Structure 1
Amino acid sequence: MTVAQRRAVPQDASVRFRAPTHVHNVIERSRLLGVLQDSGVRRLTVIHAPAGYGKTTLAVQWLERLRAGGAVVAWLGLHRDDNASHWFLSHLLEAVRRAVPAEEDVIGDLVELIEQNAEDMQGYTLSVLLERIAAQDRSVVLAFDDWHLVEDADVHRALVHVLDFAPPNLSVVLTSRRRPELPMSRLRVRGQLIELDAQVLRFDLPETREFLVELNGLRLDGDDVARLSEGTDGWVAALQLVSLSLRAAADPAELIRGFSGRHHSVGEYLAENVLDALPSEILDFLLATSVADRLCGELAGALAGRADGQAMLEELERRDLFLRPLDDDREWFRYHHLFADHLRRRLARDQHPRVAALHVTASAWFAEHGLVTEAVTHALAAGDVVRATDLVEAHAMPLVEHSRMVSLLGLIGRLPATAADDRPALLMAVAWANCLLQRTREAQAALDLLRPVLPTPDRDDDLHNEADVVQACIDIYGDRTERAESLVRRSLDHPRRFRPWVVAVAANIQSFCDIYARRHHAAQERQRWARPFHDRTTGPFAGVYGRCFAGIAALEQLDVRGAQEHFRDAVELARASAGRRSHAAQLAGALLGELHYARGEIDAAENLLVESGELGAESGVVDFMVASYALLARIKAHRGAPTEAAELLAEGHRVAERLDLPRLRAAVGVERIDQLVAAGRVREARRVVRDLPEGSNQRGGIGVVIEQLRTTGLAAVHAAEGEYDRAAGLLEGVVADAATRGQRRTEAAMRVRLAAIQELAARRLAAERTLAAVVGPVLEAGAPQLVLDGGPPVAAVVDRLLARSRTGAWPVPTEDPCSPEALSGLAALAALDDPPTTGGLDLSGREVEILGMLAVGRTNQQVARSLAVTVNTVKWYLKTIYTKLGAANRTEAVAVARRAGVLAD
């Protein structure tokens, strides 16, 4: 278990992950267990009835039989806080983690992933969980107790997802006070449902006799048992109340004769009868402790105002007063729901002024023991919004710095809508949480609420400064740098005055601004300066982003080795601190994928970029998104998968429009133009270029990049239309501009484009000179793909440069012309760089590779291991393959591919 997981689930909250322990006063439901046994294990077993029908008892007994048969059982006792999908998922993962042996590590880093990503995590997390359960060599049962407490639509959808995609070795058992709103009809038709309701759960006459006479030792004849069975209609809780009433009754026979079941509420009547017969100190203890959903001795003592809380709980259990142990150590207990509800109603009726004070006591106890959620719940139950807000505020920034932003926002959601509006520290934490979760609108809204309630700068300059850093962070997520440097200047000029977290984020923002002001060396120097501040922060974000920005600066300078060191360091830090599947790891992975692409390592690049897109690529600064959409689309097109490439570019365009990111729109637009031109669809390319944003609309270095991209797209269209001189003139301007600004990678890429156009225009010497000026530095840096992207025209120029290098007639003056060996290697790569042919089918090289594995019977898991991707990614590929081939399954797909000559017979 990781540190973050231990923080997410306090140890003394672990009782919700253990089935209740019943050691006496319970009969084995042999009749119902036989029904379940005869039905066999189904996808879903639902046990639903009102309170007091023995649902949980039956579920525990059935699960014990399944466990004895070798099944792994994960138990989750639901609470009302599970009406938030991130908490429900966290608790579900913890339940599975506790059930499966630790060495198998089924959960891995999924808990941290939920905490760090607020949007669209549910389906992804559940899919990965189901994959890992499918890999188990035994049956796994997920048991949910008290499902009726869950009303949230997202949580319901989560369980439907589990039921729809459950592997054969997974089944679900749930108890509920009402019939759950799940696709039960569909499951019943498929033979995947067992449903037991109140009618089935009622004690029949033999069970009533066993419970009252044999288990509770009451002296009752057959008529008495029959009368009680009929009067209670087999309601288990009522029969237990009957047994308690009979023990205390002066005339049991008279009580039985008078009992007919015609009372307004049998349960209320019997509960009052039992309570009225108790000693006053026990009744008072019951009422005082009823406000808590779970009890330990210390908490019970605090509520009842006595030192013997544990002894009293044990006494209640001995008296069978509906108290159930929640763990084998008998440390935590809870009242039966029916009894607890009655106690609370009686407390409110007889001692109403005491209710709020008891909730305040419970809140204080839970807060003292670090159980913030329950502390807040009780404060709100007491009507003390101020106390509840104080509790959330006290824990807000620690939650942010420990990467538990989603938990913080969940706690905020419990408070009244305006509770935080006059709380600067709390609003600051909310702004940070939303900002780090890429929810820029919500972050800006929190910051806008914060500004008016900040103390004057002379009283608290720290908060003003921190608000500026949050604003700058929001700005760079929006790809705006014009004011960011001024907003972070105080943090960097006086770093010892502010928290390390604030200084580390400020340094990252400054590095981002340096990159787009073309101060690449300064960006890297800033990160070396900031490393001690990164090391003193607790979450992964600041350190990962800092390393990524240093890598971006290095790569733009064609320092491929330095960039690789930074990106790999970022990936390792993210995986160690936040998990392999965390957004931090996948953002860093996207940039490492871009680096692999520059080195010509296309398979490695594709794997990383696909993996980075599994959680959705619309996060981080624009640089991450450009790699995830535009670069991956280029790879897909090169692999012979134009449909996939077009889908990626369309998605990137939609994200750019929705988030108002002109640089992303320009990048995916230029990539689309290149692909349209390559396909001969020049008119469409012309329409795309008209829609490209203009850099003049955005100030600073970001605007320069947008204008460079726009000019590049326009030049591609001019060249496709045969206007080579016009296209070359545009690119010559971009080359000169990039050289002036020190954009070495951009300059190299633009020179390659220019050489291709000059070659197409039959200006062969000009093409040789243009490429000769850059090919040496590019190959020396280890970035051959920059040249290979020029396609066949540039490959022809490389061939001629190779001949020149062998004769010593290099076309431009230089002290170190490119060696024949380096050019030979490049020429060989260019010759191999043609897209694969797939028998006329629109299949990529990767898809053909997967088809080959299907042909020899590889499973999805085996394919995933071979390709170093997830099973989800394999399934995505298979769906695409089936669609392209018009196949319904893997057998048909292989047959179609063989007929088309893609696969050998």
Structure 2
Amino acid sequence: MKDPCAKPRQSVAAERKPRPARADAAAIARPRLVEQLRQARHRRCVVLQGPAGSGKTTALDAWRRELLAIGVEVAWIALGEGDDDLAPFVDALLATLSHIDPSMTAEASALAGHGHGEDAIEALVIALVRGIAAQRRDVALILDDAHHLRDPRIVNALQLLLDYGPANLLCVFASRNALPLSLGRLRAQGELLEIGFDALRFTPQESAHLVASLLGKADESQARVLHELTDGWAAGLKMLCLDLRRKRGGTALQTGERVRDAQTFARYFDSEVLSRLSAPELRFFVLCALPEHFNLGLCDALLGEVPAAPAAAELLGRLEGQGLFLVAAGPRYPEGWWRLHPLLRDVLLTRLEALSESERRGLHTKAWHWFAAGGMAHDAVRHALLAGDAAAAADLVERCADELFVAGELRRLVGLVRQLPEALVRERTGLRLWMAWVEVYERRLQDCALSIAQLHNEMAAATPAERYRLTLLRGLHAVQCDDSAAAMAILPELLDAPADADAIALTGRRNLLTWIHLYHGDYEQARRVQIGDAPPLLRGQVLQGTPFGVLAGRCLAGLTHAVEGQVIQAERIYRDVLFEADRRGASCIDASCLAAGLLAEILYELNDAPGAMRLLEERLEVLERVSIPDTVVRVMLVMVRSRWREGRPLDALAYAEQIEDYAERMGLDRLRAYSLLEQVKIQLRRGMPDLARSLMVALDALDARHAQAAAGTLSEIRVVAERARIQLAMHGGDLRQALAQLDALSALCRQRGRVRRIPYLHMQSAAIERMLGNAGKARAHVREALQLGHRLGLVRTLLDAHEDVIPLIRDAGDEVRRDPVLGFYAERLEAAAREQPHATKPEPAREGRAAQEKALAVLSPREAEIVQLLLQAMPNKKIARVLDVSLDTVKWHLKNCYGKLGVSGRDEVVERMRDLGRT
């Protein structure tokens, strides 16, 4: 059987091409209703609520045409039962919006699949809101048949979309039932239009127009009778017109049955239409209702040996041509796919349920085979389960897993697994292994550790290739836990790859080995792993994306150069990888984030802080959520140091605290140590030694916790703690103690191959010797720092070592200038020091205090609360606790505050409020 994850003849891109539901072929003028919708053009939300068949879709389609005509972008999602799960819903939402502009969903697409908790959903919505806000045009998002959405996670996402939606976004919902959304605020603000069933009913004039368009001719009395029989219910009107045209050519009406609701519709359709079909015609029609969506090929497959009934096919074609009870299938299906109107499908499903259980299961079996052969895994799994063949459904999921992993679509894999019974998933170690991979990607590291422990015991009898996959999972878990010792513990197993290990396993093995060798100081061996043998092929292609792909491996090889201080070599590698990863799209998002984060560190080192910030600011949320800890710590340190250089200490502290919060949540002690070091340095520079010493207490505790770590990631905590102690000793005047600590730390860095840190330490030693009056020793330290710094191509490492670096270089004088190379390097450092960036200050208000008070009045009550807490020097994390909201919510409101106040950060908010005399 064809792989259910393989692309069918129509590509996956075509499969997801978004299209609105098809409206009636004859346009039905509803000026009263469309005018109401037209008046809502600049509101935030529109809700149409009414029973099935009340004309919601038709009215929205008429409005859609008007919106498009005036330049509004329209994204339409026709929802079904299968969309009430986070993965398929997110797929549909992103696919539909990306059809307008792929850049709108780029950041959100990167976040999708990296978590399904509240924080992850909020981050995804915020990314989507940013993308929509960046559009020059207005965007209308229409969710048709929204009553299918009951999953609390989806409801939460929609609520956030309403709460955070930018001014250029209009959300439109068509639903049979009341939506489980909080709309009170929008209603009170006049931002909500609600249209109920009474407004949706056709007026006598609209009924007459519809009847005339469907029958071709109709006198006033006939139209009036039809309107009275249906009470203006659109589905009933269409049903009676169809029946009249089929039976009598539309010339008379002889019925006393009223068709005003779903029950009477079902009775009428059953007695007046279905009962008059031949057996083959009826069977064809009933089988159309088996799947949620269908095409003629699927119907033929379900019929088996029986040829398609011409009369029924003709009826189907007529329904499609006239838009009667047949609409396009929606964004996940190509042209030629349909879905029945819910009322009609309900009637036909009653007939379907009358078949024997064995016959129904046989039909579902045919359906899942057909969907699997067409590469439509979600539908295939659903029908396999309805056929009672859960084992086949699980087989389908397992066959899809590799393909989805390689494509970077783990959220689709999660959606498939969620369809399976939990008991079956527990029985299948292969499925449980994949779900453990998902736990790593979603940063549920404790859950993953538990899964690994259970699988380790239960897979004792598994094949070597399966157990090797578990070994790789342990390695990736160690990387995300920033625990090189745990990775080192599995090194013998990693090296002993089984003969039947696949390309995913062998490519992943290369990257894990590179990371392990990197953190044990064997940089040459780390690079040889990547450039030795040619990478294995997966279906004839090199695995490029995912953290196990060759692009991520090349980034890790670049990192070995960066750690040694060979920044130019590292920069070249990162730039090439970033270009290639961005060109390849979503499947390479992990490599793209890794390359962007690491390149930003190099740009900062080369004194291009603005370039580093431009690279990071748009990616910051994505980088934090999808990157490995190595990238996160480097990114955040760039942000902290860049903000400090701009003269924005509060913003620098905010980023340092953000690292600490992330590290505490994820249990990453090395990252927390780096955060505490940066905070110590900032507080000392601000003249707040007591705060610095209190931070040192926490850093000492981390150092004591990992005192036995002799190598690897956790051994860096000792180095970080020593650097903080040196800063405190220098600030407190204990210069000889600081000098002894610097000598010991330099020796340790040389021993571990961390050469890049040594010029920094030499510059600090030079500053201390100068203060002690030892000019000769100071010059010697400067010379050694310059010699090594020039060889490595360093700039900021030397300039950030001490505030007196430039005077120290000048004091070295002739000793430096006698060497033309070192003299030129010293000149470059002096020029770089003069390029100190400055924060963009807001223009002073010329209108005076009253105008600035007016500017503050635009803040919402929640934004004003956050600004007041910010003025108390509260970090984001504490503000979130005080207000009982998420950290993402605080950051989102802060960005809104900055925009409304015309500032770009915390420091400028404080300055503005001081101008107003409020601090």
TM category (shorter chain) comes to 0.7 to 0.9
Question: Aligned in 2, Cα 1:588/1:851: closer, same or farther, shift over 3 Å?
Answer: farther
Partner of 1:572: 579
Question: Offset of 1:876 from its aligned partner?
Answer: 6.7
Aligned mates of 1:310, 1:431 — CA distance in 2: 51
Aligned mates of 1:590, 1:378 — CA distance in 2: 44
Partner of 1:557: 564
Deviates more, 1:3-12 or 1:391-400: 3-12
Partner of 1:866: none
Letter in 1 for 2:315: E
Deviations 1:836-878 (A, max 9, x none): 7xxxxxxxx23328999xxxxxxxxxxxxxxxxxxx9999777
Q: Following superposition of structure 1 onto structure 2, how do residues 367-382 of structure 1 map, counting pairs within 5 Å?
A: 367-382=372-387
Letter in 2 for 1:279: S
Aligned mates of 1:59, 1:604 — CA distance in 2: 46
Alignment partner of 1:175 is 2:174: yes
Partner of 1:82: 83
Question: Offset of 1:263 from its aligned partner?
Answer: 10
Partner of 1:282: 281
Contact kept? 2:8, 2:375, Cα under 8 Å: no
Question: Aligned in 2, Cα 1:566/1:116: closer, same or farther, shift over 3 Å?
Answer: farther
The count of corresponding residues between Structure 1 and Structure 2 is 852
Question: Offset of 1:380 from its aligned partner?
Answer: 2.7
Aligned mates of 2:41, 2:497 — CA distance in 1: 69
Q: CA RMSD in A?
A: 4.1
Letter in 1 for 2:22: P
Q: Secondary structure at the match of 1:174?
A: strand
Contact kept? 1:285, 1:304, Cα under 8 Å: yes
Aligned mates of 2:615, 2:736 — CA distance in 1: 39
Partner of 1:194: 193
Alignment partner of 1:600 is 2:597: no
Aligned mates of 1:639, 1:613 — CA distance in 2: 19
Question: Offset of 1:554 from its aligned partner?
Answer: 1.1
Question: Aligned in 2, Cα 1:304/1:41: closer, same or farther, shift over 3 Å?
Answer: farther
Aligned-pair identity in percent equals: 25
Aligned mates of 1:82, 1:211 — CA distance in 2: 32
Aligned mates of 1:850, 1:544 — CA distance in 2: 44
Partner of 1:740: 751
Aligned mates of 2:48, 2:625 — CA distance in 1: 42
Aligned mates of 2:127, 2:663 — CA distance in 1: 28
Q: Secondary structure at the match of 1:594?
A: helix
Alignment partner of 1:775 is 2:786: yes
Aligned mates of 2:94, 2:260 — CA distance in 1: 47
Partner of 1:855: none
Contact kept? 1:290, 1:343, Cα under 8 Å: yes
Contact kept? 1:556, 1:745, Cα under 8 Å: yes
Contact kept? 2:764, 2:801, Cα under 8 Å: yes
Q: Secondary structure at the match of 1:848?
A: coil
Q: Secondary structure at the match of 1:792?
A: coil
Q: Following superposition of structure 1 onto structure 2, how do residues 95-494 of structure 1 map, counting pairs within 5 Å?
A: 95-98=96-99, 100=100, 105-107=102-104, 109-110=106-107, 112-115=109-112, 117-118=114-115, 122=121, 126=125, 133=132, 139-164=138-163, 166=165, 169-182=168-181, 184-212=183-211, 215-216=214-215, 222=221, 229-243=227-241, 258-259=256-257, 265-274=263-272, 275-305=274-304, 306-308=306-308, 312-318=312-318, 323-326=325-328, 331-349=336-354, 351-454=356-459, 456=461, 460-485=463-488, 487-489=490-492, 491-492=494-495
Question: Offset of 1:308 from its aligned partner?
Answer: 2.2
Question: Offset of 1:483 from its aligned partner?
Answer: 4.4
Deviates more, 1:132-141 or 1:49-58: 132-141
Contact kept? 1:591, 1:627, Cα under 8 Å: yes
Question: Aligned in 2, Cα 1:20/1:351: closer, same or farther, shift over 3 Å?
Answer: farther
Contact kept? 1:263, 1:269, Cα under 8 Å: no
Question: Offset of 1:136 from its aligned partner?
Answer: 5.4
Higher relative contact order (CA 8 A, sep 6+): 2
Letter in 2 for 1:291: L
Aligned mates of 2:232, 2:422 — CA distance in 1: 46
Aligned mates of 2:899, 2:168 — CA distance in 1: 27
Question: Aligned in 2, Cα 1:132/1:664: closer, same or farther, shift over 3 Å?
Answer: closer
Aligned mates of 1:899, 1:41 — CA distance in 2: 34
Counterpart of 1:722 (choices 733, 736, 755) is 733
TM-score, length basis structure 1: 0.84
Q: Secondary structure at the match of 2:581?
A: helix
Letter in 1 for 2:724: G
Aligned mates of 2:108, 2:693 — CA distance in 1: 47
Aligned mates of 2:7, 2:697 — CA distance in 1: 51
Letter in 2 for 1:543: V
Aligned mates of 2:263, 2:697 — CA distance in 1: 76
Deviations 1:207-239 (A, max 9, x none): 4445457733798883x7656544433222233
Question: Aligned in 2, Cα 1:734/1:342: closer, same or farther, shift over 3 Å?
Answer: same
Question: Aligned in 2, Cα 1:615/1:846: closer, same or farther, shift over 3 Å?
Answer: farther
Aligned mates of 1:885, 1:335 — CA distance in 2: 53
Letter in 2 for 1:750: L
Partner of 1:539: 545
Alignment partner of 1:635 is 2:654: no
Letter in 2 for 1:422: E
Deviations 1:292-327 (A, max 9, x none): 112211111222333327873332343789541528
Question: Offset of 1:408 from its aligned partner?
Answer: 0.8
Aligned mates of 1:197, 1:661 — CA distance in 2: 53
Counterpart of 1:847 (choices 828, 840, 846) is 840
Question: Offset of 1:735 from its aligned partner?
Answer: 0.8
Aligned mates of 1:464, 1:581 — CA distance in 2: 26
Contact kept? 1:495, 1:503, Cα under 8 Å: no
Question: Offset of 1:494 from its aligned partner?
Answer: 5.2
Contact kept? 2:408, 2:588, Cα under 8 Å: no
Structure 1 gaps of 5+ residues are 809-815, 837-844, 853-871, 901-905
Letter in 2 for 1:179: A
Letter in 1 for 2:381: V
Question: Offset of 1:291 from its aligned partner?
Answer: 1.6
Partner of 1:94: 95
Letter in 2 for 1:787: L
Letter in 2 for 1:373: H
Contact kept? 2:108, 2:128, Cα under 8 Å: no
Question: Aligned in 2, Cα 1:265/1:730: closer, same or farther, shift over 3 Å?
Answer: same
Aligned mates of 1:832, 1:64 — CA distance in 2: 54
Aligned mates of 2:313, 2:240 — CA distance in 1: 22
Aligned mates of 1:830, 1:136 — CA distance in 2: 39
Q: Secondary structure at the match of 1:847?
A: coil
Deviates more, 1:162-171 or 1:587-596: 162-171
Structure 2 gaps of 5+ residues are 846-889
TM-score, length basis structure 2: 0.83
Q: Secondary structure at the match of 1:195?
A: strand
Q: Secondary structure at the match of 1:765?
A: helix
Aligned mates of 1:482, 1:721 — CA distance in 2: 36
Partner of 1:20: 22
Question: Offset of 1:352 from its aligned partner?
Answer: 4.8
Question: Aligned in 2, Cα 1:243/1:577: closer, same or farther, shift over 3 Å?
Answer: closer
Letter in 2 for 1:238: G
Deviates more, 1:3-12 or 1:788-797: 3-12
Aligned mates of 2:120, 2:763 — CA distance in 1: 41
Aligned mates of 1:650, 1:134 — CA distance in 2: 28
